[in-house]
C-alpha cells in the first residue's frame, strides 16, 4: 500500500489554509515539503492515516474529507486527470480513472460496472488500510467521491450528479454537507462504496471544444515541455506545470500552485527571488504558443485566439503586435 507524497502535501496544505499549523503535520509525515513534492515520494498506510487524522483534528472540521475533496480541482489528479480530459466520452474517462487509480492511491482501487439501467462505480478500500483507521478511510473516501462528482462536472460543463450513493459508514448526526455536495440520495450502513450514474450522462462527450485542436494543443505542449525540461530553476519548473495544465485555457495561479503543492504566496515568492512573475510566465508561453500555432495554416486566427485563452481575436492581435511589432497575419506572410 502506498500513498502519493504530493497528494499528502496537498492535504497538509489544505489543512494549513483552514488555520492548522502544518509543521506538526509535516513532522508526522516524516518528510519535508520538498521531499513530498518528489515524484517518487510515498507514505505507508499508517503514516497517511496519522497525517489525515491529525489534519482533521487540527482544523476541527468533522467533514474534513468532504471539504478537502471540494477544494481539489482536476489538476490535483495529475497524470490521471490529463488522461481523462483527453477521453472522448465520460464513460471512457471514468474507465481510464479506474485503470490508473493506483497512480495516486493503490489502497483505494475503483471498478466501473455496467448494469441494466445504469453504471456503478465501486471503490474498495484495502482491508489492511481500513483496519488501521476507519475514520481516515472515511475522510479519504468522502473526499474522493466529492472530487469524482466535481470531475464529472468539469468534463461535461454540466451539473450532473449520481443517481444515488451507497456508503458503509454510519449515518452522521447531520447530513447537510453530504446533501449539499452529493445532491442525490445517500444510503448509509451499506456493504459497499458505490456511485450510480445514468447511462446517458456517461455517454456524453467530454468537453474539449474541438478534438483536432486539442490534439494540436497537446502535441505542442509536449514539445514545449521537452524543451523547458532541458533548463533548470524554479521559473522553468513553473513553466512546465503551466504547459502541462493548458486544456486549452491557461491555468490560474491557484491551479499551478496546487499542481506544485505550494501555496500561492510561496510560488510568488520563489518566482520573485529569481526575478520573475507568474504573469510573465503566462505571457511568455502565450507568445511561444502563438508563434508555433501561426506556422500551422489549418488554424485560423480566431482558433488560435481561442487556444490562447483570449476573449476574442482582436485581443490576441493586440498582444501579438506588442510582442512582435506586426500583426499575426503579417507574421504568417513573412514565413
Residues 170 and 56 in one domain: no
DSSP 203: T
Q: Quick one: pLDDT at residue 78?
A: 56
pLDDT at 257 over 70: yes
Residues 176 and 97 in one domain: yes
Q: Quick one: pLDDT at residue 188?
A: 94
pLDDT at 324 over 80: yes
Residues 40 and 83 in one domain: no
Residues 35 and 66 in one domain: no
Q: Quick one: pLDDT at residue 209?
A: 42
What's the sign of the alpha-carbon dihedral 98, 103, 108, 109? positive
Q: Quick one: pLDDT at residue 234?
A: 81
Domain end: 12, 43, 61, which one?
61
Provide the percentage of residues in the chain whose pLDDT is more than 90. 32
Residue range(s) defining the domain that contains residue 310: 211-334
Q: Quick one: pLDDT at residue 88?
A: 76
Residues 82 and 52 in one domain: no
Domain end: 61, 89, 107, which one?
61
Under 8 Å CB-to-CB from 196, ≥6 apart: which residues?
A: 118, 119, 120, 121, 162, 163, 164, 165, 166
CATH of the domain at 245: 1.10.10.60
Domain end: 159, 190, 207, which one?
207
Prior bond of 36 cis (ω within 30°): no
Residues 68 and 196 in one domain: yes
DSSP 157: T
How many domains, the chain? 3
Residues 104 and 167 in one domain: yes
Residues 72 and 55 in one domain: no
CA 288 to each of CA 189, 220, 323: distance values in angstroms, whole numbers, following the listed order: 54, 10, 10
Residue-wise pLDDT tens digits, 258-286: 877 788 899 999 999 888 899 999 888 88
Residues 35 and 121 in one domain: no
Q: Quick one: pLDDT at residue 38?
A: 72
Residues 184 and 266 in one domain: no
- What is the value of pTM for the model shown? 0.61
Q: Quick one: pLDDT at residue 132?
A: 82
Residues 219 and 269 in one domain: yes
Q: Quick one: pLDDT at residue 158?
A: 75
- Give residue 105's pLDDT band: very low, low, confident or very high (50, 70, 90): low
More confident residue, 156 or 221: 156
Under 8 Å CB-to-CB from 265, ≥6 apart: which residues?
A: none
Give the mean model confidence (pLDDT) for residues 91-109: 72
Give the mean model confidence (pLDDT) for residues 142-152: 88
User: Cell numbers at residue 321, please?
Assistant: 503586435
User: Are 147 and 76 in contact, with CB atoms under 8 Å apart?
Assistant: yes
More confident residue, 301 or 218: 301
Residues 72 and 141 in one domain: yes
Residue-wise pLDDT tens digits, 162-205: 999 999 999 999 999 999 999 999 999 998 999 999 998 888 88
Distance (Å, rounded) from C-alpha 141 to C-alpha 117? Answer: 25
Amino acid at each position: 500500500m502506498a500513498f502519493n507524497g504530493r497528494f499528502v502535501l496537498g492535504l497538509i496544505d489544505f489543512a494549513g489554509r483552514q488555520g492548522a499549523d502544518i509543521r506538526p503535520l509535516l513532522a508526522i509525515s516524516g518528510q519535508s515539503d520538498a521531499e513530498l513534492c518528489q515524484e517518487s515520494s510515498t507514505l505507508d498506510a499508517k503514516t497517511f492515516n496519522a497525517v489525515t487524522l491529525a489534519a482533521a483534528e487540527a482544523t476541527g472540521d468533522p467533514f474534513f474529507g468532504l471539504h478537502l475533496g471540494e477544494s481539489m480541482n482536476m489538476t490535483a489528479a495529475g497524470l490521471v486527470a490529463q488522461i481523462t480530459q483527453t477521453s472522448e466520452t465520460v464513460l471512457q474517462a471514468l474507465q481510464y480513472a479506474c485503470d490508473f487509480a493506483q497512480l495516486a492511491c493503490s489502497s483505494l482501487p475503483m471498478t466501473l460496472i455496467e448494469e441494466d439501467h445504469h453504471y456503478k462505480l465501486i471503490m474498495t478500500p484495502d482491508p489492511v488500510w481500513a483496519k488501521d483507521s476507519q475514520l481516515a478511510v472515511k475522510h479519504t473516501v468522502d473526499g474522493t467521491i466529492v472530487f469524482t462528482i466535481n470531475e464529472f462536472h468539469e468534463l461535461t460543463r454540466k451539473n450532473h450528479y449520481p443517481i444515488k450513493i451507497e456508503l458503509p459508514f454510519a449515518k452522521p448526526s447531520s447530513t447537510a454537507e453530504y446533501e449539499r455536495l452529493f445532491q442525490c440520495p445517500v444510503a448509509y450502513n451499506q456493504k459497499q462504496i458505490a456511485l450510480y450514474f445514468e447511462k446517458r450522462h456517461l455517454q456524453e462527450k467530454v468537453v474539449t471544444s474541438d478534438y483536432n485542436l486539442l490534439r494540436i494543443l497537446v502535441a505542442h505542449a509536449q514539445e514545449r515541455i521537452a524543451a523547458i525540461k532541458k533548463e533548470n530553476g524554479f521559473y522553468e519548473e513553473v513553466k512546465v506545470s503551466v504547459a502541462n495544465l493548458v486544456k486549452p485555457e491557461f491555468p490560474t495561479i491557484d491551479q499551478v500552485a496546487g499542481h506544485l503543492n505550494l501555496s500561492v504566496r510561496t510560488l510568488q515568492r520563489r518566482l520573485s527571488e529569481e526575478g520573475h512573475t507568474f504573469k510573465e510566465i503566462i505571457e511568455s508561453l502565450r507568445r511561444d504558443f502563438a508563434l508555433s500555432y501561426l506556422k500551422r495554416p489549418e488554424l485560423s486566427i480566431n482558433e488560435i485566439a481561442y487556444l490562447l485563452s483570449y476573449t476574442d481575436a482582436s485581443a490576441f492581435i493586440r498582444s501579438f503586435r506588442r510582442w512582435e511589432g506586426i500583426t499575426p497575419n503579417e507574421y504568417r506572410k513573412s514565413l
